[in-house]
């Protein structure tokens, strides 16, 4: 069962495993907290490992490899069914999203551009990458909309205190 922080026992709200460490330590959410969560989701897609199954241990292990170590953590069901260079490019985006310093994380626009660039290269080469498709593009678009709403709600809550 996923641990969801509802704010009754602490001021934190979110799902354990996807929560930004900076948010956990400061109790202050930001757009960059959502970017961190997106990085976790991208690695969850690449590895098929849930955050509660020590996903970040695998990600940290991969980060130690000078080549990105993605080959070691790639979901075995994807081996041979996707372009390794595209997966590495997607992992680079995810690594940037997981930067420990929130201000060094990319914006959602930069993430979208990087994913679109991967997709454009794929369409130009005719290679396969089943998980970077219209669904992911729609998901990123929804995240952008949710970030705008979250910022509005946080600003409203801050002004009432």
Give 87-132 pLDDT, tens digit per residue. Answer: 999 999 999 999 999 999 999 989 999 998 988 887 776 545 455 5
Q: Over the stretch 134-149, which tens digit does the pLDDT of each residue have? A: 666 667 677 777 777 7
Mean pLDDT over each residue of the chain, to the nearest integer = 80
Task: Band the pLDDT of 8: cuts 50, 70, 90.
Answer: very low
Task: Band the pLDDT of 1: cuts 50, 70, 90.
Answer: very low
Q: In CATH, which superfamily holds the domain spanning 29-153? A: Transferase(Phosphotransferase) domain 1 (1.10.510.10)
Report the distance separating Cα 77 and Cα 120, nearest Å: 24
Q: In the Cβ-directed half-sphere of 99, how many Cα atoms lie within 13 Å?
A: 13
The helix (H) or strand (E) run that includes residue 95 is helix 84-97
Long-range contacts of 118-125 (CB under 8 A, 24+ apart): 118/86, 118/89, 118/90, 121/86, 122/83, 122/86
Three-state DSSP at 4 gives strand
pLDDT, residue 42, reads 94
């Amino acid at each position: 069962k996923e641990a969801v922080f509802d704010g009754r026992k602490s001021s934190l709200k979110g799902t354990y495993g996807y929560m930004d460490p900076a948010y956990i330590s400061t109790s202050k959410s930001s757009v960059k907290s959502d970017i961190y969560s997106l990085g976790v989701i991208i690695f969850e897609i690449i590895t098929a490992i849930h955050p509660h199954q020590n996903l970040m241990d695998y990600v940290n292990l991969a980060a130690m490899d000078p080549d990105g170590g993605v080959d070691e953590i790639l979901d075995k069901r994807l081996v041979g069914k996707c372009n390794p260079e595209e997966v590495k490019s997607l992992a680079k985006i995810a690594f940037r999203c997981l930067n420990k310093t929130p201000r060094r994380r990319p914006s959602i626009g930069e993430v979208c551009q990087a994913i679109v660039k991967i997709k454009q290269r794929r369409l130009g080469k005719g290679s396969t990458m089943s998980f970077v498709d219209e669904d992911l593009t729609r998901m990123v678009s929804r995240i952008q909309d949710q970030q705008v709403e979250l910022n509005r709600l946080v600003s409203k809550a801050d002004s009432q205190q």
